[in-house]
Chains A and B, each alone.
Chain A
Amino acid sequence: MVTRITQLPTLRIDPAQKVVFDYKGKDYAGFKGDTIATALYHNGVKIFGRSLKYHRPRGLYSLDGECSNTCMEVDGIPNVRTENTLLKQGMKVKEQNVKGSAENDMMGFIDKLDFMMPAGFYYRTMHKPAVLWPVAMKQIRKAAGIGTISPDFEMPGRFEQIFPSADVVVIGGGPAGMNAALAAADKGLRVVIMESRPWLGGFFDYRTVDYRDSEYKKNKQLYIRAKELASKVESHSGIRVFKHASVVGTYTNNLVTGFQIGGEKDNFTERYIEIRAKSVVVAAGCIERPLLFENNERPGVMQVGCVHRLARTYGIIAGERAVFSVGHDLGLEAAIDLFDLGMKILCVADVREDGQNPYLMIELAKRNILLLKGWVVSEAHGSKRVKGVTMTTLDGTISRDFECDLVAASAGFTPINGHLTLAHAKLRYDSHTNFFVADTMPERTYSAGRMLGLEDSLSIEVSGMLAGLKAALECKKFYDAGICKTSDGVANSQESINQLSSEIDTVTAKLKELPGTARGSKFVNAPVKGRKSFICFDEDTTIKNIKQAVEMGFDVPELIKRFTSAGTGPGQGGIPGHNLPLYVAKYTAAKNSSSGSHPKPTNVRPPLVPTFISTYAGRKHIMMKRTPMDQMQRADGGVFRKIGVWERARYFSNDFSCKKEIENVRNNVGMLDGSTLGKFRIHGPDALKALQRVYVSDMSKVKAGRIKYSAMCNDDGCVIDDGVVIKLGENDYYFTTSTARAGSTIEWIRYHTRFDGWDFYLVNLTDSMGVINLSGPNARKVLQKVISQDNDASIQDVSNEAFPFSGYREFMIKNTIPVKAMRLGFVGELSYELHVPSSYMVSLWNMVKEAGKEFNIQNFGVEAQNVLRMEKCHIILGQESEQRTNLLDLGLGFLWDRTKKDAKTIGAAALRHAENDPTRFRLVGFKMEDNGRAPNDGALIVDDKVRGYVCTARDSFTLNEAVGMALVESHLAEIGTRLAIFEDECKGELIYGKVVPMPFYDPDGRRMKS
């Protein structure tokens, strides 16, 4: 248990509010505002887990989630970055990748076997002999890895998505970011600011040194300045603040994506944020560059900022006896501040021989803190946590040991450049700052603050202001160009642009007078061999591994990264991102002067921060369409299924063979809701031309009062749609498409006529028209009753002569309901399709039902229809066809009119080519041998090879045998051919069928046409 300082002005915890959580089955308490990691540390937990490969103990290191050290299982979710996750009441926290416990891991011995695992060993040694590979892989995967998840784990929580738009997006809520946001918002622009920590303030937030702006009162400290800025930003009506919101991707056209973690009052657990901005300011700041020395990740070794923030933000003094090894002034400042807070500091080593801030030197001297210039920590001792260190001079000639339990180590800083490089900025190594800086910036993107190499607090603020103004100017130009209209009263005149430009000049001049970029500390690694100097913690990659990779011939960091897997872990390159290219440059230069020592950064890719897949997925988006008959069919006992974009009544009883429904249609009369059918009207001077283009038949032969069945093909001659076409008038047609094609038909027709400049209009009536399918021998009697209510005699006649098969009639029911009636026969019986406006569907449905009462009319569902039409061998596209099935394969060649070459019919050219192709499949009907059962849909037709597949097959009640249709190679298409059918998991037991003529039911169509 570590005692906490509870009286600091910089604290972000509330010591008055305890939060109880569960760690490995025991209750522990932290404070409100704690992260899981700080609460654990407060309770004395130093080892959070074990590393991926070597099972080395790992502890708190960065506090910002730059490595997987503090990944734990929280409430069943593995790999939660506990240093970024706020503690909540009742959380259940567990360590991961351990056998036993993190403290005593039985796999810990692997650390000693590192000599067996050189760089790339997995690739190089595990392939011979081949039989051993699966065994070895299993063992390795068991021992290595991080969290585990149960396959049926369901992610708790509520995930949202928002897509705000903004003029300026500011990435980073530190001093530079806040200034940028204020500068742009003051110009009347809409600004969004994204900050990954739960508060604004950046690296001012925990610092107590004086703010040097002369405009402010003396003795104002940085954290107070941060609070001032934050309150200005948060109260500004033009700025939307997203706190605890990390940016994970930046793209061309200034698209910024990220996610926000919900707070107590938010109604979401996490939400995905996608912002389209006119300009972007990146002020993401810096992270610390890890110092490379032996055991540089032993629990007790932390980054300087981590130690400093633990004290200032969370009130935790991280150790009893501390040693610092730093390379920058912030390290010295931290040592002084922590000394004042009561930390015992044995010594401060600084890799810099000179160049330290003199003010800090005086303060160190005042406190009698031993400062070793040109020294560095070379090794941390202690098996599970730090017990001491060896310090050496940079050349390694003099060394000295200290007993300590805390090492604050940091080589320098490295800018967070990911946001720039993702948006295609090119990076260049700058030898003054020792940073990778952007050489060319993405369009309308500006960077500011520490990531430019600035250290002076005022320079940082002014650079933010400058970036904000530049971003604002771009937006103004954007508005002025008239690409977008503003509604918020932003002045768009040239005058305001000129004014902004001159303001930018003033601020630029001001920034020039302030201290510029600071000299960054050079790349230093302790004079050791590096067997246990870790360059990447996530993947357990050491300096030695990098050397091995270079020795093996890899010279580019990008390839070394892949070979050694450095930087491919959950930290997304946070730890090795800077050190790897620097080390490689140094090492290759030493090896071979000609290969050049220019550091080349490795690529970063989104997400920049690990993101839950559930956050990307958002809420469940299952949105199904329902027909006008939905409620009534449910009331009638319909069993609904999701079919395409619709929810449809598939069955009307729990007998999924639909025996009763089928028999009722065959012997009596049934009604089906066919409203999902695609329904369109095409009209205008060139309507017929358009139909000629997309339909394979000659559409000029469509006659009034008759329906025409035809099909559409794609350019390969493969059937994509079938339906009927009705001529309503000259160049005015009504046509139907299959349910699945309803959504894309207009797009299809427009696409294939896009060069012709034809004049026609297309109307999608799918949702505005409903369809009742009335089928069965008694259908005519029911229809007669419905329409005879008050229509005149000529229309009342629905006899076979007056309204024959393939006929089309329009009539009004009760002088109100306009009905388009078609005499079709999809199910193979006397059948009418009644198309009516959706709003009348319920009324007509009730009237049909009422009229059918004396015949005992029944509903039938989609499955019954499927069996009925299959018995008649009427095809359903997608069932009797797939993407490669063309019109001829299905035996629908009679639909194709070859004479209309001028129409350039889609698919005609390919069909002509396919006509004489003997290798194509053919659609055949088959019945099962020896009265056997029907095979599953999709079962394979085989001999020594796969020769085709079953499209649809059912045990037919009508025919009293199992029948079906299959697509088979043409040599199997002869009537009488025996088909061997292989089903999934049949264990080699084939079943057999025989090719028979189609259709199976009512072959001469007497029932359908009478």
Chain B
Amino acid sequence: MSLTITCPVCGKRDGYEFRFGGEDKGPRPEEDSLTPQTWCEYVHLNKSVAGVQKEWWVHKDGCGSWFTIYRNTVMNVEVQESEACR
């Protein structure tokens, strides 16, 4: 895999070590005001940006942490250091 990802804990590693966790859509919505429509949108709809997008990855073969990176989806490269997230 040509993608490399910078894990906030372990540093820059090969993309094979990570698993994709989807686009960043913010925290889970509150349940009270939730319609099936808005719920479905939160869970299933993606922007699929052709360009730089913020997304979640987990270092599955490393420290196991979840964090976000900014990735250029056209070139498939990480464009910015990841934000540490715990």
Contact = CB atoms under 8 A, between A and B. Distances in A.
Contacts of B34: 909
Interface stretch (A395-403, A647-655, A751-759, A842-850): A751-759
Interface string A716-757: 100000000000000000000000000000110011101111
Nearest to B32: A901
Nearest to A906: B28
A755 B39 CA distance: 17
A747 B58 contact: yes
B21 interface: yes
Given A746-B64, A901-B32, A909-B34, A754 B2 contact: no
A712 to B, nearest CB: 15
A913 B56 CA distance: 27
A424 to B, nearest CB: 7
Contacts of B21: 751
B9 to A, nearest CB: 13
A276 interface: yes
Interface in B29-82: 30-32, 34, 36, 39, 43, 56, 58, 60, 64-66, 75-77
B12 A754 contact: no
B63 to A, nearest CB: 11
Given A904-B31, A910-B39, A754 B56 contact: yes
A757 B27 CA distance: 11
Contact of B14 (A276, A752, A913): A276
Interface in A745-783: 746-747, 750-752, 754-757
A755 B28 CA distance: 8
A909 B39 contact: yes
Interface residues of A, number: 25
**Which interface class (under 10, 10 to 19, 20 to 34, 35 or more) fits B?**
20 to 34
A251 interface: yes
A986 interface: no
A276 B1 CA distance: 10
Contacts of A252: 2-3, 75-77
Given A251-B2, A252-B2, A910-B39, A483 B31 contact: no
Interface string A894-911: 000000010010001110
A551 interface: no
A993 B36 CA distance: 37
B31 A909 contact: yes
A137 B77 CA distance: 44
A213 interface: no
Nearest to A251: B2
A750 B58 contact: yes
Given A747-B19, A747-B60, 20 more contacts: A252-B2, A252-B77, A253-B2, A253-B3, A253-B77, A484-B12, A716-B43, A750-B64, A751-B21, A752-B28, A754-B56, A754-B66, A754-B85, A755-B26, A757-B86, A901-B31, A901-B32, A904-B28, A909-B36, A910-B39
Interface of A: 251-253, 255, 276, 424, 483-484, 715-716, 746-747, 750-752, 754-757, 901, 904, 908-910, 913
The 10 closest A-B pairs by CB, nearest first: A251-B2, A755-B27, A255-B2, A715-B43, A901-B31, A754-B66, A909-B39, A913-B36, A904-B28, A252-B2
11 contacts: A252-B2, A252-B75, A253-B3, A276-B4, A276-B14, A747-B66, A750-B58, A751-B21, A909-B39, A910-B39, A913-B39
